[in-house]
Chain A
Amino acid sequence: MAGYLFFALKRLLQLAAVIFAGTSLAFVIAKLSPISPVETIIARVTNRASMSPTAIQSLRETYTQLFGLDVPVWEQYVNFWARLLTGDFGPSLIAYPTPAIELIMLALPWTVGLLSVAVVLTWILGNVLGGLAGYYQNSRFLKAVGIFAVGIQPIPYYIVAFLMVVIFGYLWPVLPIAGGFSMNVRPGLTFEYVSSVLHHAILPASSLVLVGMGTWFFGMRALVSNIITEDYVTYAELAGVEQGRIVSSYVMRNAFVPQLTALAMALGGIFSGTIITEQVFAYPGLGTLLIRAVNGGDTTLVLAVSCISVVAVATAIFIIDLLHPVLDPRVRAE
């Protein structure tokens, strides 16, 4: 137990370092931006009403203060951290004066929902099929799955999502290709709303599953085909242990654990995939928000989404890593 606590503490330190480095990097990049949030707002205000130069000047001062830009950069950095810890990034520009964090909180559940469903499905499907393909190496069906996975795995998320829009939106329109739920359904915990949300999630989720499955399929197939040459598997076969049992508790179980660590490492990439998929399917998550923010020149919101992404992905990886010793006795022993 003490060993596990030490391990958890070490990982917690690492989590803090990742979040610190990632958000600092985002802050530095954002500071290099030639787009000034103050000037963006002023341009928007003066667009609607003509103002005297003195009024514009006082407006500029007010906004500079509001965005905390009236102090040196290092102080801005310290303030940025203070605000980050309270979850306050300042007002967004595309939906001024709504705070950026409010927009993010509206979008985040969609992304987290889509991502978690897609990751769990991808991981299970890919690993089970890959494991079976590694064990039953002569199965026609599993060979076909392998060839399919080879073909689709290297294609970028965007292209697969786009092809699915073309197929299910234009050629055979059976599934909704845009939005998170139907316009005629009122959000709430009703059957209509939930089923509409699920219905709209089918295409984006399955495009993520299709692209992501291959990696797990190949990884698991390779792992399993190595494990079946181990002595204990041969022994179990000779001893007449049921084949189903060999596959599930002798072979697959030992191969799942390294795949779980791989999941932690792959999560950052899958997250990027989700952001792109959301944009293609106009899904109301973080990705769509990020791209709207970029096109609207919204520095605050872009910075906020980047920081939240770093925190979310790092935390998810941290949780998976904490699970690792629970599942693998060898790691526990260390």
Chain B
Amino acid sequence: MFSVFRDLIRYNIEFAVGVVLVSGVVLFALLSYVSPVDPTLIYVAIPDQPPSTQYWFGTNSRGQDLFWQMTFALRNTLSFGLTVAVLSRVISIVVGLAAGYLGGWVDRVLMFINDIFVAIPIFPILVLFYFVLRSNLDTFTLALVMASFGWPFDARLIRSVALGLRHREFTRHAVFAGMPARKIMMEEHLPYVMPIIFSTAMANMIWSIGLEVTLAVLGFTNLNIPTVGTALYWANNHSAMVVGVWWWIMIPVILIVLTFLGLFLLAVSMNEYIDPRSRLRRMGA
């Protein structure tokens, strides 16, 4: 595991840049644990101060120090993305492995459901959820809803790998040795799909964070929880761009772009690593 990581850093510039970006963003978010200010309070700093040595990222019109405010926002945004990714990974692994290994009618039923989920446009459904739940829509509920929509693409990918594994020699050995199907899937097949799970997890985080930002900017999430999306919502709400408080918008945008870029590069380089043909080409073979 570790040697793979070392090789990737050494030979794959995209992966290295991705690691640097993501760890930078995570470190910044971790600063929220040592923050001297409470992110829920407003009017604790002088409003509308441009970035300076005292306020590194400036302050917003709600009188919050943007530097510390953004550490909390980024922490919430990242943990939201991680929650969605982990939850939807569980569904996609179970569905993908079961459909691929068991085959037959299990496969047909699961893929039928899968196709339904692929075709349902998620944004109107999410808006409907907000419409119904209003202020009860906390971060975890939203994550749960998004996770239940975020698995079908990846389940299909995992299924296609599992289909190939099913006819391999070691699977047959396991079957003849009397290993139960659940054990074969979880202990024999799961390690083979692990790289795919990692790379799709990154892509899933990008997808879910992007949707959360969008919903928040439109005002369709709980606006009292500081996330990158709600930061943009409040900035728009105070017409930051018109008033000239540009840093209030630019800093969240830059942070979110850095996060996305990091995650995206990790996903792309891992994808490339999984595909042996492109790996060979990179090594110059």
- Residues of chain A having any CB pair with chain B under 8 Å: 14, 17-18, 21-22, 25-26, 29-30, 32-35, 150-151, 153-159, 162-163, 166, 170, 218, 222, 225-226, 229, 265, 268-269, 271-272, 275-276, 279, 290-291, 294, 299, 302-303, 305-306, 309-310, 313-314, 317
Apart from A154-B257, A276-B123, A294-B130, 18 more pairs, CB < 8 Å? A29-B129, A33-B132, A154-B260, A156-B210, A156-B214, A156-B260, A158-B213, A159-B257, A265-B118, A268-B118, A268-B122, A269-B122, A272-B211, A279-B218, A306-B127, A309-B124, A310-B120, A313-B121
Task: Please indicate the chain A residues that have their CB under 8 angstroms from the CB of B128 in the complex.
Answer: 26, 29-30, 302-303, 306
A305 pairs with B206, CB closer than 8 A: no
Q: Is the CB of B268 closer than 8 A to any CB of chain A? A: yes
Interface residues in B118-158 (C-beta closer than 8 Å to A): 118-125, 127-132, 134, 153
Cβ contacts B204-240/A at 8 Å (1 or 0 each):
0010011101100110100000000000000000000
Q: Does B256 contact A (CB under 8 A)?
A: yes
Residues of A within 8 A of B260 (CB): 154-156
Residue of chain A at shortest CB distance from B253? A159
CA distance A314 to B118 in the complex (A): 9
Smallest CB-CB A-B distances: 10 pairs: A272-B123, A156-B210, A154-B260, A154-B264, A306-B124, A33-B132, A18-B119, A158-B214, A309-B124, A268-B121
**Which residues of chain A have C-beta atoms less than 8 A from B209's C-beta?**
156
A157 to chain B: which residues have CB within 8 Å?
210, 214
- Which range holds the interface residue count of chain B? 35 or more
What residues of chain A lie closer than 8 Å to B190, measured between beta carbons? none
Residues of chain A within 8 A (CB-CB) of B153 are 265
Interface flag for B97 (CB, 8 Å) = no
Please name all residues of chain A whose beta carbon is closer than 8 Å to the beta carbon of B122 when the two chains form the complex: 268-269, 272
Contact of B213 (CB < 8 Å), options: A18, A29, A159, A269: A159
- B119, B261, B268: the one contacting A22 at CB < 8 Å is B119
Give me 25 A-to-B residue pairs in the complex whose CB atoms sit less than 8 angstroms apart, sorted by A's number.
A14-B112, A22-B119, A26-B128, A29-B128, A32-B132, A33-B131, A150-B264, A156-B209, A158-B213, A159-B213, A159-B253, A218-B268, A222-B275, A225-B278, A268-B121, A271-B121, A272-B121, A272-B122, A291-B218, A294-B127, A294-B131, A306-B125, A309-B121, A309-B124, A313-B120
